[in-house]
Structure 1
């Protein structure tokens, strides 16, 4: 195998491990944008806004909230660890397939242009 193939495969394996295993240990606390959006409001024990004024009050549900991969998990799988891991693996495989397809198309277009110019 060529060096570039080993490089791509090792990167894919690393991404699959990170998405499938390490993603389960990510922080469940709000990130920076969520924290800023919540500034100025008060919340109850269930994390519902009870008062104040903040950007989070105008928050609406995501249009994809009912999709099979919504909420960083895979719907229908009872085990949260497995659900999150499979969701991450599906995302990595889809991204790799789309990216690989785009690069393949670009490469095929470049080689066909080269053969037209040579002839």
Structure 2
């Protein structure tokens, strides 16, 4: 087995695990507020919070707009997030990759 094959296999397994965690395990995540939200509620300034600029986006609140089933909606939002990050990070890695120097003998 070559190093290239091994790297591809590791990447494929990591991608499958990421998609499973995002699509399946995310449903079992805690529904309780995060730490900052909890402190804001306990100290009494939660009501003064404003919605974020992305509050009306298609994937707001870890749900997919237009999908009524909460389990499918959250899982789909997670899978979309993994795919978007894969595309963005792959593009970034491709843009900054090492390139062999141009042949100066020509």
TM-score under structure 2 normalisation?
A: 0.87
Partner of 1:76: 66
Residue 14 (structure 1) aligned to one of 13, 17, 20: 17
**Secondary structure of 1:115's partner?**
coil
Q: After superposition, give the CA deviation of every residue in 1:83-108 in whole Å (9 maximum; x if it has no partner).
A: 1111000000000111011111111x
Higher Cα Rg, which structure: 1
Partner of 2:80: 90
RMSD: 1.4
Q: After superposition, give the CA deviation of every residue in 1:43-80 in whole Å (9 maximum; x if it has no partner).
A: xxxxxxxxxxx231320112111111111111111111
In structure 2, runs of 5+ residues without a counterpart are none
**Higher relative contact order (Cα pairs below 8 Å, separated by 6+ residues):** 2
Instruction: Kindly state the Cα deviation for residue 22 of structure 1 after the two structures are TM-superposed.
Output: 0.3
- Runs of 4 or more, structure 1, over 2 Å off, are none
- Structure (1/2) with the larger strand percentage: 1
In structure 1, runs of 5+ residues without a counterpart are 41-53
Partner of 1:5: 8
TM-score under structure 1 normalisation?
A: 0.78
Partner of 2:28: 25
Q: Which aligned pairs between 1:92-107 and structure 2 lie closer than 5 A? A: 92-107=82-97
Residues in 1 aligned to 2:25 and 2:91: alpha-carbon distance in whole angstroms: 27
